[in-house]
Chain A
Amino acid sequence: MVFFENVIHILYFVMAGLVGFSMCKSLFRRKKNKGFVFDAMYAYCLIPFLLRVLYIK
């Protein structure tokens, strides 16, 4: 059980990484929600995923 819990823990880091990557991509190239306000939103929403992947928080 402990092993599975550890695997799940790692999976959540992977998930955060993938979402962060996708958001980073959308920050520079996206189909809708264009404009400065959404640029700023994408940038600050990226922060928690980035910090999670970097094991900072």
Chain B
Amino acid sequence: MSTTMLTLILLIIMIAAFVLSSIKLKSPDISMAVAAVVLAIAGTIAVPELGNPVRYLVEGLFVNLDLALLFIAASIFVNIYAHSGAIAAITRGVVEKINNKWILMSIMGVLMLIPGALTGAGSVAIFVLGGLVNTVLEYLGISQKKRTVFICFFAMLSAACPPINLWTMLMTAQANMPYVGFTWLLLIPIVIAGAFTIVFVGWGAKPQNKEETLAKFPPKDPKLKWWRIVLPFVAIVGLFLLALYDPWGLPVLGLPLMFLIAGLVALLCNPKKTTFKEYLGILDDTMEQVFPLVANVLSIGVLQSAMAATGVRGLIGSTAVGLPLVLIYVLIIIVGPICQGCFNYGVSIVLGGPLIFMFNTLGMDVTVICAALSLIFPLGDTLPPSRIVGRLACETTEYKESYLSFFKTLVLPMLFLGAMGVAMMVLHSKLAFLY
């Protein structure tokens, strides 16, 4: 039997295990872990040289450990900050002062872009601002489904937004290209897609009565001065900027520690008298709140590791690259996001890197192609098995209907951004003036 056929059989076994486990256990997270265990065992039986399958599974648990720590730390920061009443106070201020729906939505969109643009992770944008944006959009009379779409889509855009776009960084690193010239190539499509989404979400929405909305907020705490509200945000944004623009003047803190430091600042700025036991309660609640997401990223790591060890990951990448050029243009909008759903940032290595080399061989402008791919891949953050950003957005707005019903509404902005990415790939030579 050829190696390709053997790997294909392993891929089918993995998919079967995932589907059966999903039906039986009704949890995509544990289903990914089960699929990884089955794949690792089947791979070791088929190719005994692979050795002990436990090794791949345990190594896989460490693939996304930093991401899991980031989710936990960011949630701790946000929950301590929210406990102080600061988020409610900011929302109240925004609703009181700005009357125009479109201006308010544009401000929310720009604000959501900042955390992801500085960290490279869309989930951070939801953790930091998701709750606030949800409340403001609710005041604007936007339905729960469209609020979830807004938060989810802007979180995806924030991950792709310069200066930190991890997909581009990984692809350029793999192709020995400088990470230079991407600012406008990424920013212009993001602004266009963002404007489209604002119109799509805000169309027809009628703002609620301002007085009634303000009455729903908790009363103003006189002890909550402006500096208590601003300082935690200044701390986190300051640390992001320092790490970005003065990397040698600061020890490498890492995002989880940055969020914990900001959490400590939020704790010190809290005007409420909160006992140690209450803080422990907040920590316990945070852990329970964020656990499904932690389980999700750890399970993806296990699956990635098993797929890499058995060659399934390589099979997907090499098959995609071997397709005719026209088919790549047609399929990238589907295959790219699906691979992102499976591998997260690993899609840049599995699919992005080989595609860059292939387009380079054809004499195409790889800087534009790389930017285009970096706009298409983030769309997969809403696709199974991981659907990290989609899930987080649903949790933030407490969207209880089926995920599919939310996804159907999200498809239009996603297609708009995807189509722009494909157009950039096709018209690569005409867009070179942007860098």
Residues of A participating in the B interface, judged by any CB pair closer than 8 Å: 1, 4-5, 8, 11-12, 15-16, 19, 22-23, 25-26, 30-33, 37-38, 40-42, 44-45, 47-49, 51-52, 57
Give residues 248-273 of B contacting A (CB, 8 Å).
251-254, 256-257, 260
Asked whether B291 lies within 8 Å of A33 as measured between CB atoms, the reply is yes
Cα(A4)–Cα(B107), bound, Å: 38
Asked whether A26 lies within 8 Å of B291 as measured between CB atoms, the reply is yes
Residue B69 CB within 8 A of the other chain: yes
Asked whether A37 lies within 8 Å of B65 as measured between CB atoms, the reply is no
- Contacts A22-B283, A22-B284, A42-B291; A47 near B58 (Cβ below 8 A): yes
The B contact surface, by secondary structure, is: helix
B386 to A: closest C-beta gap in Å: 15
Asked whether A52 lies within 8 Å of B251 as measured between CB atoms, the reply is no
Extra 19 A-B pairs, beta carbons < 8 Å, given A32-B288, A45-B61: A1-B251, A4-B251, A8-B251, A8-B252, A8-B254, A8-B257, A15-B69, A15-B256, A25-B284, A26-B288, A33-B291, A33-B292, A37-B25, A37-B27, A42-B291, A48-B298, A51-B61, A57-B58, A57-B62
Q: Chain A residues near B58 (CB, 8 Å)?
A: 47-48, 51, 57
| Interface flags, B26-55, vs A, CB<8A=1, else 0 | 110110010000000000000000000000
- Contacts A37-B27, A40-B30, A45-B298; A12 near B283 (Cβ below 8 A): no
Cα(A57)–Cα(B305), bound, Å: 16
Name the residue on B nearest A4 (C-beta).
B251
Contact of B260 among A15, A26, A37 (CB under 8 A): A15
Residue B294 CB within 8 A of the other chain: yes
Cα(A19)–Cα(B251), bound, Å: 23
Q: Chain A residues near B295 (CB, 8 Å)?
A: 41, 45
Q: Chain A residues near B69 (CB, 8 Å)?
A: 12, 15-16, 19
- Contacts A12-B257, A22-B284; A5 near B251 (Cβ below 8 A): yes
Residue B114 CB within 8 A of the other chain: no
Asked whether B287 lies within 8 Å of A26 as measured between CB atoms, the reply is yes
Cα(A52)–Cα(B66), bound, Å: 12
What are 27 A-B pairs with beta-carbon distances under 8 A? Answer: A1-B251, A8-B251, A8-B252, A8-B253, A8-B254, A19-B69, A19-B287, A22-B287, A23-B287, A26-B284, A26-B291, A30-B288, A33-B288, A33-B291, A37-B25, A37-B26, A37-B27, A37-B30, A40-B30, A41-B33, A41-B291, A41-B295, A45-B295, A48-B61, A48-B62, A51-B58, A52-B65
- Contacts A15-B69, A31-B288, A57-B62; A45 near B294 (Cβ below 8 A): yes
B36 to A: closest C-beta gap in Å: 11
Cα(A1)–Cα(B285), bound, Å: 36
Residue B72 CB within 8 A of the other chain: yes
Q: Chain A residues near B287 (CB, 8 Å)?
A: 19, 22-23, 26
Cα(A24)–Cα(B315), bound, Å: 38
Question: What 3 A-B pairs come out closest when comparing CB atoms?
Answer: A4-B251, A48-B61, A41-B295
Asked whether A41 lies within 8 Å of B283 as measured between CB atoms, the reply is no
Asked whether B72 lies within 8 Å of A19 as measured between CB atoms, the reply is yes
Q: Chain A residues near B73 (CB, 8 Å)?
A: 15
Q: Chain B residues near A49 (CB, 8 Å)?
A: 65
- Contacts A8-B254, A22-B283; A48 near B65 (Cβ below 8 A): yes
Cα(A49)–Cα(B27), bound, Å: 22
B309 to A: closest C-beta gap in Å: 17
Cα(A37)–Cα(B31), bound, Å: 10
| Interface flags, B280-324, vs A, CB<8A=1, else 0 | 000111011001101100100000000000000000000000000
Cα(A19)–Cα(B253), bound, Å: 18
Cα(A40)–Cα(B25), bound, Å: 11
Name the residue on B nearest A30 (C-beta).
B288
- Contacts A32-B288, A45-B294; A5 near B33 (Cβ below 8 A): no
Q: Chain A residues near B291 (CB, 8 Å)?
A: 23, 26, 33, 41-42, 45
B39 to A: closest C-beta gap in Å: 16
Cα(A31)–Cα(B291), bound, Å: 12
| Interface flags, B191-219, vs A, CB<8A=1, else 0 | 00000000000000000000000000000
Asked whether A41 lies within 8 Å of B29 as measured between CB atoms, the reply is yes
Name the residue on B nearest A6 (C-beta).
B251
Cα(A12)–Cα(B68), bound, Å: 12
Cα(A31)–Cα(B283), bound, Å: 13
Cα(A9)–Cα(B313), bound, Å: 32
Cα(A19)–Cα(B283), bound, Å: 10
Name the residue on A nearest B64 (C-beta).
A48
Most buried by B among A11, A22, A32, A57: A22
